[in-house]
Amino acid sequence: MKAFPVAENVWWVGVVDWSVRNFHGYETNRGTTYNAFLIIDEKITLIDTVKAPFFAEMRDRIASVIDPEKIDYIVSNHAEPDHSGALPAAVAAFKPEKVFASTAGVAALEAYYGKGMPLEPVRTGESLSLGRNTLHFVETKMLHWPDSMLSYLDGSKVLFSQDALGMHYATSYLWADQCDRKIMEYEAKKYIANILLHLSNKVIATLDLLPGLGLDIDVIAPDHGPLWRTPEDQQWIIDLYYRTAQQPWGKKALIVYHSMWGSTAAMAKELMDGFREAGIEADLVSLDVEERSSVATRVLDAGVVAVGSPTINNQMFPAVADVLCYLRGLKPQRHIGFAFGSFGWSGEGAKQVNQALTDMGFEMPLPVLAARYAPDAAVREQSFAAGVELGRLLKEKTTTKN
Ligand code: FEO
């Protein structure tokens, strides 16, 4: 295992996790990376660690540069176990003098791993001299955990941005300018949609704060995905995060549904034709083939979200409830909603969908549309008409101010 150079005296010693497909319920189709960084200075410092099972790989990468037992400090920018899981093993094996984390980070690390580590809290504005370089700390509370913070290494001019400005994308390339731009755009948006969307205001506030810190940055080094070394790429990812967090009205329609016997699916297809008639691009997503994190990503670009569910045992279908529960937590902004679906005798499914979308703050201009057993010609026509009307309303939104 080798370390790879990031900047003068800074090495990437992380792990590419090619096989992870489920990141606490977020489908990571392209795997991810757990980036960790080694700083060679008078005080040898490790920035973050990796997920617990990958400790040996990180240790071996470090050992390709220096005896790991020479590590003096470890900085934990974020206590979530994808970055701290290997910390107890690292502390036991490397015996660092200190492990630095934010105050909330110290509390979280002690809660996860006990009180045996030489933890020391640091706060915004504090710095740590490593010899030739100094690390500066900036807490980013609730972005996206209470403990989260950034570290900036002057001299080498590296901003260790932790989860921020990252994405789940396994690649053998270290640098963003070596990677496929379209893939990065999709995966960064997916990351924001699934991890940060409910914190959009904090994302914007933090990005607004960065220029005022006056940091001279050569490299932005997040804990996931490729690193950003050119000014153009750094601006590209900052702009993408900023734009996405602003959550402008999406221009597309999204139809998400589950169908037991084809009735809700038939209504979904009529709706689709209605959007086509209205000249609105629409995606039709069956929850048989997609799951919550993909849907959450699609919602970013969708000004209309139409959700269809049959009724089963007096409830909406569980796959639909899963997606709605997930979206409710992510708090997507600026959407028109619509609920539809079939039922046999009690009919709660589409009504529950309607209530869930209403509770999420979606604009709900049309009543619930339900079909008993199967959509007859009248319901099919109403489904089509709903698509046309929702498309018209979306055009009004997107052609006036956001
Ligand atoms: Fe990559 Fe919030 O951990």
Q: Is the CB of 83 under 6 A from ligand 1?
A: yes
Query: What pLDDT score was predicted for residue 290?
Result: 97
Question: How far away, in angstroms, is 162 Cα from ligand 1 center?
Answer: 8
Supply the CATH classification number for the domain 254-393.
3.40.50.360
Which CATH fold would you assign to the domain 4-246?
A: Metallo-beta-lactamase; Chain A (3.60.15)
Please state, in angstroms and rounded to a whole number, the distance separating the CA atoms of residues 236 and 179: 13
Give the C-alpha separation, 120 to 111, whole Å: 15
Catalytic residues: 24, 78, 80, 82, 144, 163, 191, 224
Nearest residue by C-alpha to atom 2 in ligand 1: 80
Q: Report how far apart, in Å, the C-alpha atoms of 397 and of each of 95, 226, 274, 303 are.
A: 59, 36, 18, 8
Cβ 78 under 6 angstroms from ligand 1:
yes
The β-bridge relationship of strands 302-308 and 252-257 is parallel
Whether the full predicted model's pTM is greater than 0.85, yes or no, is yes
DSSP string, 201-237: HHHHHHHHHHHHTT---SEEEESSS-BB-SHHHHHHH
**Can you give the pLDDT at residue 401?**
52
Task: Find out whether the beta carbon of 223 lies less than 6 Å from any atom of ligand 1.
Answer: yes
**d(CA 348, ligand 1 centre) in Å:** 38
Distance 381 CA to ligand 1 centre (A): 47
Our separate counts of H helices and E strands in the chain read 12, 23
C-alpha torsion 384→250→299→310, nearest 10: -20
- Could you identify the atom of ligand 1 that is nearest to the CA of residue 144? 2
> Which residue stretches of the chain have pLDDT < 50?
402
- CB distance 35 to 8 below 8 Å: no
Asked if 242 and 207 count as a contact pair (C-beta separation under 8 A), the reply is yes
Single-letter code of the amino acid located at 76: S
- Our measurement of the distance from residue 371's CA atom to the centroid of its chain's CA atoms, rounded to an integer in Å, reads 36
Which residue, judged by its Cα, is nearest atom 1 of ligand 1? 163
How far, in Å, CA of 20 to CA of 14, rounded? 15
For the chain, what are the domain ranges?
Answer: 4-246, 254-393
17 lines ligand 1 (CB under 6 A): no
Please work out whether the CB of residue 82 comes within 6 Å of at least one atom of ligand 1.
yes
Q: Report the alpha-carbon distance of residue 253 to residue 391 in Å, rounded.
A: 8
Q: Is 51 in the pocket of ligand 1 (CB under 6 A)?
A: no
